[in-house]
Chains A and B, each alone.
Chain A
Amino acid sequence: MYSVNLENSAAILQFGCKNCLCPKESKSFRLLYLVALALCLSTAMGLPVQANAAAPTFTVGWSVYAGWNPYFYMAKSGILKRWADKYGIVIKVQRFDYAASLDAFVGKNIDACTMTNMEALDMPAAAGVDSTALIVGDYSNGNDAVLARDNLTLAQLPGKRIMLVQKTVSEYLLERAMDLNGLSAQIPQLRLMNTSDSDLVGAFLGNQGNQVAVTWKPLVSQILAQGGNVKPLFDSSRIPGEILDLLVVRTDVLKRADGSGERFAKAITGAWYETVTQLASGSAPAISGSAAASGDSVASYKEQLRTTFLFSTPKSAVQFSESPTIKQKMDLVRFFCFRHQLLGQNIASVDDVAIRYPDGSVQGKGDRVRLRIDSTYMRMAEQGRL
């Protein structure tokens, strides 16, 4: 129906336009032109409505990170389209800068987004956007590191200037490093300098006076490769499972009355595990496709993957997200967020932003659940029911 209409109106439009230039016949053709315009407009306005009715569309935002790059490959290789078609929906995948992706998610411009457990708590959840973690993809197992020159030790850090992106997992990692080494009392004496990730490498390497930096890969690798006397003091492999990388969807999208949200969850989970299985088996196109997502070389991407603990089977992801361990880890993270006022000025208690776990238990106030860890779909993938 539509193609016919469009062709018709386009033909009339062309005809009308050509003749508009000719003054004698202009009146009748102007009328035709108007009709054509009206036709065009009505089809243009009708189209999206029709498309929507046919297949609900979902947008997933992702940003560059070893554990999220596979989303790029997943969309490009056609894996995602196959799964979306199976469930009769359309899934769009869009790349963002990390901060911008979170803004878009909180602003409800996108339906799902990749983020760490910490940002899931302090961005959408703390802003009252009820969100659900569908996929627990991986945890940082050395991707984040505290780097220092001149053989400094953690005990010598107070008083030294520390370059990092403040209020992110970098600051969390630094505090955990101090904690685990019995230096908790020294944390207030740390001199933090908020440094944008885009300039951190250049600024740190450019001046020998900058002795300490906390950052993530690939920046860590760049600094280690170029700074001769720089050594990692502490990295996230010492706090396994605390910096989680999730796929988070808005709960109201997931629970849509027409059931399309659940179909979306099934499709994306199915596509994810198909992709990750390829990746874990070392399939060359999967690895080079994911490396291409961030413009990394295959070697560099493989190096990043080594320090990323990928839950490569749904079973391992389910096991982790249903274990008591995740609760302990999340507890550390939520207290960190609360201490640093990341939950908002007017959140009086850490329990005001509550987390619900797959077994139904809630960390915080039961009526203020904002973040849900949901293993339903990962479990379906495990049982092959997708």
Chain B
Amino acid sequence: MSAIPVVGHIADIQGRPRMLWTQSLSWVLFLIGIFAYTQFSIVRHKENPEDRVIPSGAQLWQGIKASVLEPAEEDDALDPGASTYQRVTHSMLWKDTVSSSRRFFIAIALLIPAILIGLHMAVFPYAEAFFLRFVLFFDKIVALSLLPVLFIVFGIDELSKIMLMVIGVGPTLMLDTYNIAKSVPREQVVKAFTLKSTNFDVAYRVILKQIMPQVINSVRLNLKPLALFLFAGEMIASTDGLAYRIAIMRRHMGMDIIIPYLLWVAVLLFGMDALLRVANRRLHPWF
């Protein structure tokens, strides 16, 4: 047992790397990524000091400062005496984050009925007969191709963007919930009825309760498709939002804003995912 891993150990299933190794190994790819980026950036800036395709650290820092502290270009300028708090809450990034999050959370709220429909499909045979075939079919429709129809039906404002997310992710979530709920052993249902459960008890207190952690995990996996649909909607028609800004900045190679925005979106999604994960563990410690 030596402290330094022998080459043989690295490929060993039974290997037990020390804390130091697991910690440092997990950062290697990040470092490579940052290193590669810097290298590319340096090379490009050597050739053209004003390069905007791969902004340098200084350019990025300026971009971050501008997006966090300055109001968006279409808004009025702040008076110079504003406090940092005021500056942040009137900034471009803040404004875009608020409007994108609003759409995102409304869509998530509208997905709760989708979960319940999935549950009912799995538990009640008549609901299954009514919904399943249609949902299976509808799930295969590429939601983005419906966009022109959505614009006509729901107008070009918020609703069409939210509906794009709901229509894109809803059927998947329904089917996933349906499958999870179906896999609950039939014996449990029978047993519950012998203990004088009502239909409602079986559906909500026996089945929903125990599939909840898996459903939350399914929502976690669907965060990214949700974000994708949100971005698609915002890029096609909007007046604000994170993807709106990225679309606008793309028109003149504003990578110094786009890259911080991308990272910010990643952080937001990561945070949301972590929140759901922790909530899941707290709420369902038995899972």
Which residues of A are in contact with B by a Cβ distance under 8 Å? 99, 103, 106-107, 122-123, 126-129, 161, 163, 165-168, 188, 191-196, 198-199, 202-203, 206-207, 209-210, 340-346
Specify which of A99, A122, A206, A342 is in contact with B151 (CB 8 Å cutoff). A206
Q: Which residue of the partner chain A has the closest CB to B75?
A: A188
Query: Chain A residues with Cβ under 8 A from B63's Cβ?
Result: 345
Assuming the A-B contacts A106-B53, A122-B252, A341-B73, are A199 and B148 also in contact, with contact meaning beta carbons closer than 8 angstroms in the complex?
yes
> B residues within 8 A CB of A126?
50, 52, 252-253
- B62 contacts partner chain A, Cβ-Cβ < 8 Å: yes
Residues of A within 8 A of B248 (CB): 166-167, 194
Q: Judging by beta carbons under 8 Å apart, are B253 and A193 in contact?
A: no
CA distance A128 to B54 in the complex (A): 12
Q: Bound state CA distance, A46 and B263, in angstroms?
A: 43
The answer to whether B252 touches A167 (Cβ under 8 A) is yes
Could you list 9 A-B pairs, sorted by A, with CB under 8 Å? A103-B253, A128-B52, A167-B251, A193-B237, A194-B244, A199-B148, A202-B152, A209-B155, A346-B62
Q: Is B96 an interface residue (CB 8 A)?
A: no
Q: With A127-B50, A128-B51, A199-B151 given, is the CB distance from A207 to B156 under 8 Å?
A: yes
**Contact present for B50 and A196 (CB under 8 Å):** no
Q: How far is the CA of A106 from the CA of B156 in the complex (A)?
A: 33
Contact B250 A99 (CB under 8 A): yes
Q: For the complex, what is the distance from the CA of A99 to the CA of B48, rounded to whole Å? A: 21
Task: For the complex formed, measure the closest distance between the CB of B270 and the CB atoms of chain A, giving whole angstroms.
Answer: 26
Tell me, rounded to whole Å, the shortest Cβ–Cβ distance linking A56 to chain B.
Answer: 20
User: Knowing A193-B239, A194-B238 touch, does A127 contact B253 (C-beta < 8 A)?
Assistant: yes
Q: Does B79 contact A (CB under 8 A)?
A: no
Interface centre among B52, B252, B253, B254 (most CB of A within 10 A): B252
A213 CA to B237 CA in the complex, in Å?
12
- Inter-chain CA distance A166–B235, complex, in Å, is 11
B160 CB to nearest A CB, Å: 9
A107 and B53 in contact, given A122-B252, A167-B252, A168-B251 (Cβ under 8 angstroms): yes
Complexed CA–CA distance, A106 and B255 (Å)? 12
Q: Which of A129, A193, A207 contacts B238 (CB 8 A)?
A: A193
Question: Is there an interface contact between B59 and A196, defined as CB atoms closer than 8 Å?
Answer: no
Chain B residue with the shortest CB-CB distance to A344: B52
Most buried by B among A106, A198, A346: A346
Is the beta-carbon distance between B50 and A207 smaller than 8 angstroms? Answer: no
Interface contact A128-B251, CB-CB below 8 Å: no
Shortest CB-to-CB span from A347 to chain B, Å, is 9
Q: Once the chains bind, are A196 and B235 in contact (CB under 8 Å)?
A: yes
B49 within 8 A of A: yes
Tell me, in angstroms, the Cα distance from A166 to B236 when the chains sit together. Answer: 11
- Do B48 and A128 have beta carbons less than 8 Å apart? yes
Q: Is the CB–CB distance between B251 and A129 below 8 Å?
A: no
Within 8 A of A (CB), among B69-110: 73-74, 76
Query: Within 8 Å of chain A (Cβ to Cβ): is B247?
Result: yes
Chain A residue numbers with a CB within 8 Å of B151 are 199, 202-203, 206-207
User: B254 contacts which chain A residues (CB < 8 A)?
Assistant: 344-345
> In the bound complex, how far is the Cα of B48 from the Cα of A128, in angstroms?
6
B147 within 8 A of A: yes
The residue in chain B whose Cβ has the minimal distance to the Cβ of A198 is B236
Say if the beta carbon of B269 comes within 8 Å of chain A.
Answer: no
Tell me whether A203 and B59 are in contact (CB under 8 A): no
Whether B156 lies near A210 (C-beta < 8 A) is yes
Find chain B residues with CB under 8 A from A195 CB.
Answer: 156, 236-237
Q: In the bound complex, do residue A345 and residue B239 qualify as a contact, i.e. CB atoms below 8 Å apart? A: no
Inter-subunit contact A207/B152 (CB<8 Å): yes
Min Cβ gap A41→B in Å is 28
Residue numbers in A under 8 Å from B235 (CB-CB): 196
Closest to B152 in A: A206
By a CB distance below 8 angstroms, the chain A residues around B239 are 191-194
A207 to B160, CA, bound (A): 12
Chain B residues with CB under 8 A of A193: 156, 237-239
Closest to B257 in A: A345
Complex formed: what's the CA distance from A122 to B252 in Å?
6
Residue with the greatest number of chain B CB neighbours at <10 A, chosen from A123, A191, A194, A210 = A194
Determine the chain A residues whose CB is within 8 A of the CB of B251 once the complex forms.
99, 122, 165-168, 342
Residue B259 lies at the interface, judged by CB distance under 8 Å to chain A: no
Known contacts A126-B52, A194-B248; 9 additional CB pairs below 8 A are: A107-B53, A128-B50, A163-B156, A167-B248, A192-B74, A194-B237, A203-B151, A341-B73, A346-B62
Residue B66, interface by CB 8 Å? yes
Q: Tell me the bound Cα distance from A203 to B147 in angstroms.
A: 9
CB-nearest residue of chain A relative to B148? A202
Contacts of A196 in B (CB 8 A): 235-237, 247
> Is residue B273 within 8 Å, beta carbon to beta carbon, of the partner chain?
no
CA distance A202 to B147 in the complex (A): 10
Least Cβ–Cβ distance between A55 and chain B, in angstroms: 25
- Residues 220-245 of B, flagged 1 when their CB comes within 8 A of A and 0 if not, give 00000000000000011111000010
Minimal Cβ-Cβ distance residue in A for B54: A107
**B231 CB to nearest chain A CB (Å):** 12
In Å, the complex CA distance between A188 and B52 comes to: 28
Instruction: Output the least CB separation between B44 and chain A (Å).
Output: 9
| B237 engages A203 (CB within 8 Å) | yes
State in angstroms the CA–CA spacing of A346 and B237 once bound together.
28
Name the residue on B nearest A341 (C-beta).
B73
Bound state CA distance, A168 and B247, in angstroms? 12
Contact pick for B256, options A123, A168, A188, A345, CB 8 Å: A345
Please indicate the chain A residues that have their CB under 8 angstroms from the CB of B237 in the complex. Answer: 163, 193-196, 199, 203
Question: Which residues of the other chain, B, contact A168 by a CB distance below 8 angstroms?
Answer: 251
Task: Report the separation of the CA atoms of residues A128 and B45 in the bound assembly, to the nearest whole angstrom.
Answer: 10
**Residue contact B148 to A206, C-beta cutoff 8 Å:** yes
Query: Of residues 148 to 206 in B, which have CB atoms within 8 Å of A's CB atoms?
Result: 148, 151-152, 155-156
A128 and B252 within 8 A (CB):
no
